[in-house]
Every structure is written in C-alpha cells, then in structure tokens.
Amino acid sequence: MSDVKIRNMEEFAAVSGISRPTVSKYFNNPDSVRATTRRKIEIALEIYDYRPNIYAINQNRKLTKNIGIVVPYLTDPFFGEIARNIEQHCRDAGYRPTLFSSHGEKSFENDILDSLRSLKPAGVLLAPLGRVSDRRIVEAFCRDVPTVLFDSNIPDLGTAFVGSDNPQFTRLIVDYLCRTGEPPCFFEMQNPSNPNANKRRESYICTMEAFGHEPKVVSIKGDGWDIEKIGYEGGLKALDAKSFQSDTVLCSNDRLAIGFLTACYEKKLRIGGNKGCDIRVAGQDDHPFSRFTCPPLTTVAQPYEAVSQFAVETLFKAMEHEEVVDEITLFEGKLVMRQSA
C-alpha cells in the first residue's frame, strides 16, 4: 500500500493513469468500463487505499444520467464543433447528453432552462447569450442545477466558466499582421451577437496603441447571426466608401471575414500578402470552412478540444460535490498562417 494520500477523484485518476471521466464512469457503474480498465482501477484502489465520496456518488445516482448542453446558435460552426466535442466527452463518461439551441433569443433560452428542469439533469453545460440573457432566470437555474458556463461568461453565475482567451487571440494576430505588413484596420459589426467580439475590439485597440499605431475601427450595421451576409453587404459599402485606411483588414471573426472576402472578390481586389496583391484579410476562430476560402484565410485557431474537455471535467467535479479551484479558466488560440494575409 502506498503512503501517498489521495484526496479526490482527480488525484486518483492521475496516479492510476486512467482518465478522470473513465474513473467517474467506473464509480457510477463498474460494469460500464472494459474489464482490463476495471482491473487497473481496482489495483490502484488497493495500492492507494482510496475510497470515493460515497455520499456524493449516491446523490448523483438519485438523479438521471442526463447532461444538458445549451448553445446560442447551433448552425454557427464554432458552436457546432464545440458541442460535438462536449457531447462525445459526456457519452464516453456514460452520460446521456441532450443538445439545445436558443437561436439567439432570450425567450428561447429561458424556455430551454425551464424544460431542462423537467429532465432532472445531473448537470448542464451552458453557453449563454450573455448580455441578452435574463440574468434572473439563469441565476435561479444555476442555484438548482450544477452548471458550468462556456464561451460567454455571465459574472458570478454557475460553478465555473471555461472559455477562450479572446484578447490573446487578437493580440497574437495583430502582432503578426504588424510584423508582416501594414498595421491592420479592425472590421466589426456594430451590434455583435457574441459579446466576445467586444473583447476583441478592445484588445485590438490596446495592442495597436502599445505598438505605437493608431487604431482604425470600421463598424458596419448589422445584428443577429447571418454574419457572412452582414460581412459581405457591409464590406461592399465600406469598400465603396473607402473606409479602410490600411491595405490590411482584421475581421472580428472568420464568419465576417468570409463575407468580406466575397465583397473583395466582387470588387476585383487581389487578396493576399504577395507582391501585386491589393489587400490582406485575416480573421479569428479558424472556422471549419476558413481553410477552403479563396484564398485560404489567415486566422487564430480556437482550442475546441481543450475547452470542451476541461468544461466537461469541471462539470463532473461539481456534480460529485468536489471543490472547483479555478472559477475562470481561459485557453489560448494558435496563429494559423494562410495565403489571405
């Protein structure tokens, strides 16, 4: 028997060499894991003399195996990809995930949370609308159900928040664009659907000023989730009005950039960083289609897997009444250099 003191399931998973979701799955139902894995866990239990919090596990067994996943707009490729990852992690741990989309509407988000109560979920992973959300409704739900927020944070609600470091995204790509050509303008919607867009604008301004450049923000009319169309139509108007005071344009997100690329093509502008090109265009998020635009889009990649896995693991801790140490966890993006800039 080892002298190492194991305080919680996460530490036991680390010393046993078995993933935490699999360990959690074992303690909920030993027969749900493969025989070889079950034997490894049982050997580790003997070595470390670890006994889980039986009360917490029994409490969970009184609940269903349902996990709710709520996103603002499922047809947005970012939310589709991260929801797919979250769903798979939940299934691997033996839970039954159910996916909901609030379609950008506060009333839909409220209805989803009300419907989730009837499912008696063991926990919920919620990407709230943010400033549009009804804080009172979300707060009441988080008091009753273990809830981890992701993507968009509402301060002081939920067990924890897991997301991307959006200011870091913008610092990273502004630095790259300034080093490789003319400092960029920032192209955005006046009323963005996702509140992370405001963090990116603020980061752009701060980074440009830190580099000694004057920030140049071009805001176009538009709200809602038809972002490619807004980027296209607003891009045409901005190009006609000669609003861009630089031959480099950094878009607030890839969906806006995809629409803007079409506007540039329609205006017969050559896009790219090579000699003879008229304009450089970059985005943020590494939209699944960004590598297939013409030319392929330079961007910053979202840490889909890291965010989804950590969000699920954090929810499992909350469901098992374990302490969540870091209430806010942010993951950095990675620069993806392609032909557009």
* Tens-digit pLDDT profile for residues 118-176: 888 999 999 998 888 999 999 999 988 999 999 988 888 888 999 999 999 999 999 99
Backbone angles phi, psi at 200, to 5 degrees: -70, -40
Q: Does 251 score more than 90 pLDDT? A: yes
Asked, colleague to colleague, whether 9-52 and 166-301 share their fold, the answer is no
How far apart, in whole angstroms, are the C-alpha atoms of residue 228 and residue 300?
18
3.40.50.1970, 3.90.79.10, 3.20.10.10, 3.40.50.2300: CATH of 65-164+304-332: 3.40.50.2300
pLDDT recorded at residue 325: 61
Burial of 43 (0-12, 13-18, 19+ CB in 10 A): exposed
Q: Residue 328: name the closest of 89, 193, 158, 168 by CA.
A: 158
* Strand boundaries in the chain, DSSP class E: 66-71, 96-101, 123-126, 147-150, 160-164, 185-189, 217-220, 248-251, 280-282, 299-301, 328-331, 334-336
Q: Residue 70: name the closest of 169, 144, 156, 141 by CA.
A: 141
Task: Kindly report the CATH class assigned to 9-52.
Answer: mainly alpha
Tell me the per-residue pLDDT of 32-51, one tens digit each, with 9 for 90 and over.
778 888 888 888 888 877 76
pTM strictly above 0.85: no
Domain ranges of the chain: 9-52, 65-164+304-332, 166-301
pLDDT recorded at residue 55: 42
3.50.50.60, 3.40.50.170, 3.40.50.300, 3.40.50.2300: CATH of 166-301: 3.40.50.2300
Do the beta carbons of residue 281 and residue 264 sit within 8 Å? yes
Peptide bond into 303 cis (omega under 30): no
Backbone angles phi, psi at 330, to 5 degrees: -120, 140
Do the beta carbons of residue 278 and residue 272 sit within 8 Å? no
How far apart, in whole angstroms, are the C-alpha atoms of residue 110 and residue 117?
11
